[in-house]
Each structure stands twice: as structure tokens, then as C-alpha cells.
Amino acid sequence: MINPFIPVIIFSLLLGVAIYQILLAIGFPLGAAAWGGLYRTLPMPLRIASIFSAVILVSMGIVILQHTTVIEPFLPIPIHSTLWVFTAFLGLNTVGNIASKSKTERLIMTPVSSILFLLCLWVLLGYQ
């Protein structure tokens, strides 16, 4: 079995960002580091988007844990291909965070998404 340290770190970071998205979705005024930083408290369309983001982030974490056999695969999807899609998403997300007009988003979310991208890439390329 592969050392579970890196996949568990990835899952924990994704879960942390998912919790942040849920807090945004229920109206916490934390929007300076999300969705371009335009709203402290998100309007309803962005709250709904935050719920979807949270679901995607948790799903990404589960796929990582399954790919690395930290947990047994239970999702009926091609795990390796799905992980490539999620990793590409994290790469694009990093570019979006770098380009954000929100200084807070650039300072907080850019490092988080870039670390997640690099760790997922490392897992895909067969870290030991």
C-alpha cells in the first residue's frame, strides 16, 4: 500500500476548502477570498455555486483516497481518468486565483490551489 500521508493531506485541504464553501453558502461574510472577492456575503447564485463547489471538492478528496487505495473504491467511475480531470481543474483554478482582482483571494487561495494541484500531480505521476 502507498504511504497514505500525501493523500490524507490532500483530502484534508480539500475538506477545509469545502467547509469554507459551505460557510459561504449559508451566508457567512467570508467572500473576500472567493468568487473574485466581489461580495463579503455572497448573493444567492454564488451561494448555490458554493454548494456545488463543496460537493465537487469532497468528491475530489474521495477520488484521491480511492486512487491511492487509502479507502476501497466504491464510486462507479474510472478513478484514474477522473483524477486527471480534477487535477486539471485545480491547475485552472490556480490560474484563476492568480488572476483574481481580490488581493485576499490571490494571497490565500492561490497557494492552496497550487499546493493541491502539485500534490495531485505528484500522486498521478506515481509518488511513493
Q: Per residue in 41-50, pLDDT tens?
A: 999 999 999 9
pTM: 0.91
* SS3 assignment, position 71: coil
Domain boundaries, the chain: 5-124
Q: Render the burial of 72-103: b for 16+ CB within 10 Å, e for the rest.
A: eeeeeeebeebbeebbebbbebbeebeebebe
Whole-number pLDDT of residue 63: 94
Whole-number pLDDT of residue 3: 78
Taking the CA atoms of residue 49, residue 54, residue 57 and residue 58 in that order, the dihedral angle to the nearest 10 degrees is -150
Q: Which residue ranges of the chain lie beneath pLDDT 50?
A: none
Whole-number pLDDT of residue 127: 66
Q: Contact at 8 Å (CB) between 120 and 86?
A: yes
Cβ count within 10 A of residue 8: 15
* SS3 assignment, position 64: helix
Task: Using CB atoms within 10 Å of the CB of residue 125, give its burial: 0 to 12 exposed, 13 to 18 middle, 19+ buried.
Answer: exposed
Whole-number pLDDT of residue 1: 53
Question: What whole-number distance in Å separates Cα of residue 86 and Cα of residue 61?
Answer: 10
Place of cell 467572500: 31
